[in-house]
A = this chain, B = another copy of it.
Amino acid sequence: MKSFRKELWFEIPTRRSFVNITGQVEQALGESGIRDGLVLINSMHITASVFINDDEKGLHQDYEKWLEGLAPHAPVDRYLHNRTGEDNADAHLKRQVMGREVVVALTAGRLDFGPWEQIFYGEFDGRRRKRVLVKIIGE
């Protein structure tokens, strides 16, 4: 069994954003030399997500509006967590809906994907440097 790890770094200039990281994950695959196995891609931060869905701008705006409805940012004092001095409690909730991680099959040197699957970094509390971990195991 071989393994490989790589960190992807982000500094999103806004509070919230979705970034397509499929190309960066494919680059890590190439660097690893591993051609068959499993790929874990996870946010290393607890106010951000990694998820798989469609690269369509309208849908991303729908996600943004929908998540804001499910877990509103304001008023910030509606959340006990924000008494710690933070204003990001909503980001901890939104991240649970969208998920921390994806696990993807690696087959014949490629992400074993359906036709529309793309990997996204979902930032819910940006404006600082944060990381995604890519961990590959296989042969």
Contact = CB atoms under 8 A, between A and B. Distances in A.
Interface of A: 1, 3, 5, 36-38, 40, 42-46, 51-54, 56-59, 61-63, 66, 70-71, 79-84, 89, 92-93, 95-105, 107, 112-117, 131, 133, 135, 137-139
Contacts of A53: 46, 92, 95-96
A3 B13 CA distance: 41
Contacts of A79: 58-59, 62
A43 B116 CA distance: 11
A97 B62 CA distance: 14
Contacts of A101: 102-103
B61 A135 contact: no
